[in-house]
Amino acid sequence: MAEGSRTAFELWPALDHKSKQSVISAIAVDDAARYIYLGTSDGQLSEHRIQSTSSGLRVSLGARKHVGKKPVTAILHIAIAKKLAVVCDGSLLLLDYESLEEYTMPGLKGVTAIALDTAAGLQSRLAVAMRTSKRSVRVLVYEVVPGVGLGTQMHSQPAICLTQAELSEPLIVKAMAWLGKRIVLVTSLRYMLFDPITAAYSELFAVSPEAPPPTMVQAVPSVNQAVLLMDQVGIVTDEAGHPAQSALTFPSTPAALAASEIYVLAACADGVHVYDRTTAAWVQSLPYPDGLRTAPGQQLYTAHNPSGSVVLVAGYRRVWMLKPVALEDQARELLRACNYDQALRLAELCATEGAAWAEVAFAEAAFMLMQELRFREAMDALQHCSTLVVQPAELFPLFPDETRPWAGAADRTPSRPRWGLHPPLADLRSLVRQRLAADAAAEPLENGAGEDVERQLAAAARQCVAEYLLEVRQWEGVDFLDGVDTLLVRLLAGSRADWALEAFAAGPNEARLDLLRSPLAEVRRFHVLALLSSNHGDAAAALRLWRGIAEGSLDEAAGEDGEVAFAWEGGPAAAAIHRATALMLDENRVSESLALEYLPWLLASLPEESLIVLKGRELPAETVLPLLRRVSTELTSQYLEYLVCSKGSQDPAHHTELALSLAEAALRLMPPVDASLPAWERARAARERMAEDSAPAQRLRDVRDKLCGLLEESVLYDAQVVLQRCAKTELWDEQVVLHSKLEDHKAALRILALILGDIRLAEAYCARWAGQQGYLFLLDMLLHPGHSREPLYAEACHLLAAQGANVDATKVLDALSEDMPLSVAVDVLARMLRTAIHNRRSASITRNLHRSLHLSTAAERAELMQRSVVSTEERACRVCHTRISTKMFAVYPNGVLVCFKCYRQHGEASICPLTGRDFRLPEHPLPAL
């Protein structure tokens, strides 16, 4: 009787070789599993037809052919080429699939092994190993050509040699197998990996020469792997020859190996053992039936078609067929036996290959696991099920109180493909109590411990279901999404998954807010309720809730994680204000009136956050500014700066108020100075302090830079009002700008020259704003500084040296002080006078030259005016040669006469149309001056 975790194969008797003169020496099956080919020890090849009947299998002899005098050692069915490859007496024969007409491959003697590449697509590559000498082996690769006859009269060969290589190997190659694009060669002592393209080979591993165990290889072409036998261990290798997974451990050394789908079959002395190739786990053991029991040392033969739908096991006289049970039936059997791990592993493997039943297996396993409170494994299984197989609403019966409006939703959904292995799903409380009752019967709990265990099991189950719903709700085709989302909020709120709950509530969802207000209020999750209200378009309710949390009228539950728990020292209030700010920035959800309603609260709670709102959306400044003035002058200044500099406000009141606000801020930051000092000393002390490398000095520089920039660039503020505030303060630079705006250049120059002592800046001011009069003002200030200060003769001379040529010398002399030493200014005044005389003489010469040119031009014009022109009837236009007769005409100064039509077409009266002379230029240009 078969043993194992499941029935993977069924054993059927196939045929009985009744000949007493021979025994079975080789076996093969075609790809479609319609024919069995037997090779016998007397050189016979027989073809047997397989027919399935109601009572079992019926195998009948179809044909027999004598191919040699010695045993047939190998048979391969080449489906694409419709041929059989047979090894007999060291020769390789190709037989026609239908007629069994044979063709002996020339030059091949001592053939010991052959292997067919079943993964070569439309090609049929046949590898052949032959003994060429005592110390060498030759490996050849042929392409078997389809459609070529095998008769001796055919001129074309049925196989073409693609490559061949000589290997130094004293032992014969007893077995071969294709491994991807390379070939595994097996001798009695070692395994080698051979590349037929480069003729390179390498040793995979060797066996002990003292007591060598049997060596064999079984290819698994569907995954480019091979199983190499090492005593009782099957080593699964990849295409590079490296171990690909855990080894297969057999109960004894196999006599033959075979492969079918995901299974490797080992024909051992006690029966056929089936292993899952993907996990190396034992699956099933089938003992040999009567007539196939092996004697010690008896050879067994196996064969299988590429699809693995048939596996043959043969002894000397009997052939048995192993037919795989459908993987779907195996999964169903495993689930009935509650072997969930293997059932899920099998379903997962088949799902990767596109098996449609795999999702059903996952669904059945999930619902059966839920009956045993294994919710983590159940939800993992449901993750593999699409909404066509399992709808999230099918979990509603677990939570009847939370899903009462959708009672019976699972019954109203279309029928799903199922196997009917699980009972209807009961509510979670009943499942937990049933489980506890069953466990208590086996091991009673202490008093009071049952309730704690029940709560823990229920909480774990709710958390697992919540995680599943959170993922699956995003899939297409989810029915009753409002119920799924509503249940999800209830589950997350109960499991204290704060981050997930808040993220879900803030994102798109279809939760029923009317069904969640009371439950969330009972557990004091007002922040989540506000997020849901905001997300569902009820911004007023959301802001109302957040204001209640911030003010403390709503007691928010403490959380272990989430926005409320990680709001730093601000706690729930900080999280509420942050979210309220983000909502008020959204003009689509929060109207202007609603934003203005909650703006005072936001200003009182966290002014910095309110400034974000004011800058992020358009609100009437005439309403906002009074609110800001009551809260903070600094905040008012920042908002005004935003209005003027970023939004480009053209309201003069905004510009004026911003200038005043910046001036006040600068004065607050400015360190106190001794008011008894003269102004120029106070200015010097203020500048020294502002130049210090300190944070207060840097803040002061920043504020004053903003203020000066505004005063210089804006023309909308009231300069007189701002000047009144800056007057009698140390804001000297700002006063200069304001005086220049008011065109009070004398006051501005006085500050620059006498208080700030910056003569170069004063000169630049004169050049830009004040002109020559400004230079005279500046010169007078330098010579008469007042306040008992000595005249600044050096600075005055510097000014005259730089700008004296541009100033009226007479006015300069008038402005000079009688007390000024002549030796100080003699060089500057002499240079000024020389420049003035030179300029006067140059102007006189230029004037006389222009007068001469004017007289010459007038004389020439008078001469031209005295000229006369006589036109006769025979005279013609010099341009179009039309007779003038009595028509209007024009005459150019050079005597060229043209008709009036040509004159108008030419368009330029000062240029002769015939010669191109420009009469505006003198005929003989004057020499350059």
Residue written as token pair 């807010």: 513
Range scoring the smallest mean pLDDT among 128-142, 370-384, 481-495, 797-811: 797-811
pLDDT over 70 (residue 383): yes
pLDDT for 803: 53
- The conformation of residue 675, written as its DSSP 8-state character, comes to T
Strand 311-314 with 318-324, pairing: antiparallel
Q: Rounded distance, CA 687 to CA 6, Å? A: 94
pLDDT for 793: 63
Fold observed for domain 3-325: Methylamine Dehydrogenase; Chain H (2.130.10)
Q: Rounded distance, CA 168 to CA 174, Å? A: 15
905 in helix, strand or coil? helix
Name the pLDDT band for 513 (thresholds 50, 70, 90). very high
Taking phi over 0 as left and psi of -120 to 50 as alpha, with beta for the rest, 726 belongs to: alpha
Domain map (residue ranges) of the chain: 3-325, 332-412+422-444+451-503+511-558+572-582+608-620, 621-731, 743-867, 873-929
Mean pLDDT of 458-470: 93
pTM of the model: 0.67
Strand 271-276 with 263-267, pairing: antiparallel
Name the pLDDT band for 211 (thresholds 50, 70, 90). low
pLDDT over 50 (residue 927): no
Residue 895, φ and ψ in degrees, nearest 5: 90, 0
pLDDT per position as a tens digit, 395-442:
999 999 999 998 876 566 666 778 888 888 899 999 998 888 877 665
Domain 873-929, classified CATH 3.30.40, yes or no: yes
**CA angle 748–793–810, rounded 5-degree value:** 80
Mean pLDDT of 716-744: 90
What is the residue-wise DSSP string for 741-783?
HTT-HHHHHHIIIIIS--HHHHHHHIIIIIHHHHHHHHHHHHH
Q: How many CA atoms lie within 13 A of 32 on its CB side?
A: 9
Name the pLDDT band for 1 (thresholds 50, 70, 90). very low
pLDDT over 60 (residue 895): yes
User: Is residue 263 a contact partner of residue 283, using CB atoms and an 8 Å limit?
Assistant: yes
User: 375-382 vs 357-371: helix axis angle to the nearest 10?
Assistant: 160
The alpha carbons of the chain give a radius of gyration, in whole angstroms, of: 54
Same fold, 3-325 and 873-929: no
Burial tier of 819 (Cβ tally within 10 Å: 0-12, 13-18, 19+): exposed
Q: Dihedral through CA 623, CA 627, CA 630, CA 634, nearest 10? A: -100
Longest dimension (CA), the chain: 155
pLDDT per position as a tens digit, 318-347:
899 999 999 999 999 999 999 999 899 999
Residue 217, φ and ψ in degrees, nearest 5: -135, 145
Name the pLDDT band for 127 (thresholds 50, 70, 90). very high
User: Is residue 266 a contact partner of residue 273, using CB atoms and an 8 Å limit?
Assistant: yes
Q: Rounded distance, CA 327 to CA 448, Å? A: 47
Comparing C-alpha atoms, which of 135, 86, 143 is closest to residue 111?
86
Q: Is the dihedral of CA 758, 762, 768, 769 positive or negative?
A: positive
Q: Rounded distance, CA 748 to CA 746, Å? A: 5
